Amino acid sequence: VKDWNGIDQIVLKVPSGASVRVSLHGGQVVSWRNEKGEELLFTSSKAIFKPPKAMRGGIPICFPQFGNCGSLEQHGFARNRIWSIENDPPPLNTNSKFGSGKATINLLLKPTDDNLKSWPHCFEFRLRICLFMDGHLSMTSRVRNVNGKPFSFSFAYHTYLSVSDISEVRIEGLETLDYLDNLSQRERFTEQGDAITFESEVDRVYVGSPTVIAVLDHEKKRTFLIRKEGLPDTVVWNPWEKKSRSMLDLGDEEYKQMLCVDAAAIEKPITLKPNEEWTGRLELSSVLSTCCHDH
Ligand code: TA6
């Protein structure tokens, strides 16, 4: 299918009716729907669908730099590039422990001359996106240092979850971890002992986070489970009201319906020697929370 700018999108569907839509612009997942057709990812009503801006929502790929802690544009160039489809990618070097029951697309990004000017490293970035029969989504990024000198990068799956009301959402799994607070020059703090809830702007990188994080949406009685491998950090971001007003591509009240929980590698950038390959895997599932604890 074509998108707003005539850029190809790929739709993955499974018999249950669940679907995923991926744009070749940025290799960005722009939609993930469950078997009832409910949209599980947030998309801003004011998203700018015009390259080189990344659409605000879905799951932009932040590579080779997260944030603006480096010489490149915010979150790096990968989310603003057109990716290509690779039909017969080399096999994943991790034994695929998942059955063949899934719909898959393999995307590829290689540096342009422009990229090489700003980031002189020869890489191949393969992104495999899978929608499984039960509707869960996996994204596997493989970055290989083709033949240059060693290079380092930071990375995030910048995941915009759709929530009913941010003040009714809590995150379990990040308790007692250290985090770098982007709102205070990335100063290091330690999270307290119970679930994270939201009543103001939050912009943090939890470091050394566990492999499973739960985001509980009280109203929708829905829990997102985030599983990750090779991605030791977790970004938690909600702009809240004041910052939202300064963002052209986000409605003033829409911060209430979104929460970014990004599987990432930020505190300790990944370093690849020539011909070495890094794999970062994210699995997202959405389950109905049977017992929504009243708290
Ligand atoms: O998620 C953390 C963050 O770096 C925030 O500071 C905010 O800038 C957000 O990413 C969105 O960045 P973007 O470039 O997509 O507007």
**Residue 55: closest CA among 4, 118, 122:** 4
| pLDDT score of 295 | 43
Atom of ligand 1 nearest to the CA of 260: 1
Number of domains in the chain: 1
What's the gap in Å between 165 CA and the centre of ligand 1? 20
CA dist 16 and 22 (Å) reads: 19
> What confidence tens digit (pLDDT) does each residue in 192-214 have?
989 999 999 999 999 987 889 99
2 in any annotated domain: no
**Residue 45: closest CA among 162, 167, 158:** 162
> What confidence tens digit (pLDDT) does each residue in 63-115 have?
999 998 788 999 999 999 999 999 877 777 655 555 568 999 999 999 999 99
192 in any annotated domain: yes
263 backbone dihedrals φ, ψ, rounded to 5°: -70, 125
Structure pTM?
Answer: 0.94
| Structure tokens that stand for 255 in this block | 């911060």
Atom of ligand 1 nearest to the CA of 74: 14
Does 79 count as an annotated binding residue? yes
ipTM, interface predicted TM-score of the complex: 0.97
174 in any annotated domain: yes
36 in any annotated domain: yes
Largest CA distance in the chain: 55
Name every protein residue with a CB atom under 6 angstroms from any ligand 1 atom. 67, 74-75, 182, 203, 235, 237, 260
CA dist 14 and 103 (Å) reads: 7
- What residue's CA is closest to ligand 1, atom 10? 67
CA dist 214 and 257 (Å) reads: 17
Residue 183 has pLDDT above 60, yes or no: yes
294 in any annotated domain: no
What's the gap in Å between 286 CA and the centre of ligand 1? 24
Q: What is the CATH number of the domain that holds 107?
A: 2.70.98.10
Residue 2 has pLDDT above 80, yes or no: no
**Average pLDDT taken over every residue of the chain:** 92
Atom of ligand 1 nearest to the CA of 262: 1
Pocket-testing residue among 68, 77, 203, ligand 1, by greatest number of atoms within 8 A of Cβ: 203
> What confidence tens digit (pLDDT) does each residue in 10-38 have?
999 999 999 999 999 999 999 999 999 99
- What residue's CA is closest to ligand 1, atom 15? 56
Is 77 exposed, middle or buried, given 0-12, 13-18 or 19+ CB atoms closer than 10 A?
Answer: buried
Any bridge partners for residue 120, and if so which?
A: none
1 in any annotated domain: no
Atom of ligand 1 nearest to the CA of 54: 15
> What confidence tens digit (pLDDT) does each residue in 244-283 have?
999 999 999 999 999 999 999 999 999 999 999 999 999 9
| pLDDT score of 292 | 47
Pocket-testing residue among 63, 68, 158, 243, ligand 1, by greatest number of atoms within 8 A of Cβ: 158
CA dist 78 and 76 (Å) reads: 6
Contacts of 193 (CB under 8 A, 6+ apart): 175, 176
Helix (H) or strand (E) holding 282: strand 277-288
Is 282 exposed, middle or buried, given 0-12, 13-18 or 19+ CB atoms closer than 10 A?
Answer: buried
What's the gap in Å between 67 CA and the centre of ligand 1? 6
| pLDDT score of 290 | 62
Does 56 count as an annotated binding residue? yes
Does 65 count as an annotated binding residue? no
Contacts of 251 (CB under 8 A, 6+ apart): 44, 45, 46, 244
128 backbone dihedrals φ, ψ, rounded to 5°: -110, 125
Domain that holds residue 149: 9-288
